[in-house]
């Protein structure tokens, strides 16, 4: 039984056919519209057919898919981006918690992305994620934002507003400079990998600290004091690395 429509936007005919074939074989409820290879035709089809899911390459015949999606004030469909872009673009996707596929991709990766996209219920929150992605992808935008999703809400937080993150088993507690504590069901390692190039330092197995909020490192006690007075432990194996890091700050 067909219940949803899917549009593929891809100027590589082989990739378009591969995506179409995989979806047809694994998603009986998805009706696949005829693929298009440019943003003019894509906009026309979206307005006419109102697809529920759009799978789009980023680079499209001397233009990008972003030029297409920015024409919609409110995006009423889910998007899976296909990219061969740089690490910078991948970072923007991850910060925004959006589904994307890196070329070349495996069948299972596409199946997982489609399943995830079609499970999204809160369209308003999804639109917020899309707008956050556009914000993060802007090369002139230095203040990146992070999408934090839990059972209660979708939080959009500026990276430079995060004071520190504390590990709680497989959960992470993010402490924000406006007083909020946001609990996310991801391990601290996940945020360490995302934020280590943004002044964040793993001072301890249980703590990832934004050193922009560091005030004093009390070497005798191996304690890092923050600007708000909080004191966080520094483990022995992080002691020398932290001193070296702080010595590089000018």
- Residues 164, 58, single domain; the answer is no
φ and ψ of 47, to 5 deg = -65, -35
pLDDT in tens, the chain (250 residues): 668 999 999 999 999 999 999 999 999 889 999 999 999 999 999 999 999 999 999 888 778 888 898 888 888 899 999 887 666 577 777 788 788 888 889 999 999 999 988 887 677 778 888 888 888 877 677 788 999 988 888 899 999 999 999 998 889 999 999 999 999 999 999 999 999 888 999 999 999 999 999 999 999 999 999 999 999 999 999 999 999 888 887 5
The whole-angstrom separation of Cα 239 and Cα 119 is: 44
Query: In 3D, which of 74, 68, 78, 93 has the Cα closest to residue 11?
Result: 68
pTM: 0.70
Q: Which two tokens stand for residue 93?
A: 């996707």
Residues 186, 194: contact at Cβ < 8 Å?
A: no
- CA atoms 37, 42, 46, 52: torsion sign: positive
- Residues 105, 171, single domain; the answer is no
- How many domains does the chain divide into? 2
Q: Decide: residue 133, CB within 10 A, 0-12 exposed, 13-18 middle, 19+ buried.
A: buried
Domain that includes residue 11, residue range: 4-137
- Residues 219, 102, single domain; the answer is no
- Residues 32, 124, single domain; the answer is yes
- Residues 104, 165, single domain; the answer is no
- Residues 21, 130, single domain; the answer is yes
- Residues 117, 219, single domain; the answer is no
CA–CA distances in Å: residue 12 to residues 15, 17, 38, 58: 5, 9, 11, 12
């Amino acid at each position: 039984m067909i219940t949803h429509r899917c549009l593929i936007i891809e100027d590589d005919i082989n990739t378009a056919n591969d995506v179409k074939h995989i979806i047809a074989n694994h998603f009986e409820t998805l009706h696949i519209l005829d693929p298009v290879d440019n943003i003019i035709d894509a906009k026309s089809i979206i307005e006419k057919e109102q697809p529920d899911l759009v799978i789009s390459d980023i680079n499209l015949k001397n233009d990008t898919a972003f030029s297409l999606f920015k024409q919609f004030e409110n995006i009423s469909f889910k998007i899976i981006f296909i990219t061969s872009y740089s690490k910078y673009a991948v970072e923007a996707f991850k910060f925004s918690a959006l589904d994307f596929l890196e070329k070349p991709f495996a069948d299972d990766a596409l199946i997982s992305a489609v399943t995830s996209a079609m499970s999204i219920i809160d369209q308003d929150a999804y639109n917020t994620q899309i707008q956050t992605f556009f914000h993060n992808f802007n090369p002139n935008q230095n203040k990146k934002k992070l999408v934090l999703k839990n059972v209660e809400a979708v939080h959009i937080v500026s990276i430079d507003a995060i004071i520190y993150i504390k590990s709680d088993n497989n959960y992470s507690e993010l402490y924000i400079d406006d007083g909020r504590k946001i609990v996310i069901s991801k391990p601290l390692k996940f945020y360490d990998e995302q934020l280590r190039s943004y002044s964040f330092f793993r001072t301890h197995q249980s703590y990832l600290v934004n050193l922009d909020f560091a005030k004093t490192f009390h070497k005798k006690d191996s304690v890092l004091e923050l600007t708000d007075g909080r004191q966080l432990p520094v483990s022995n194996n992080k002691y020398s690395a932290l001193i070296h890091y702080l010595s590089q700050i000018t």
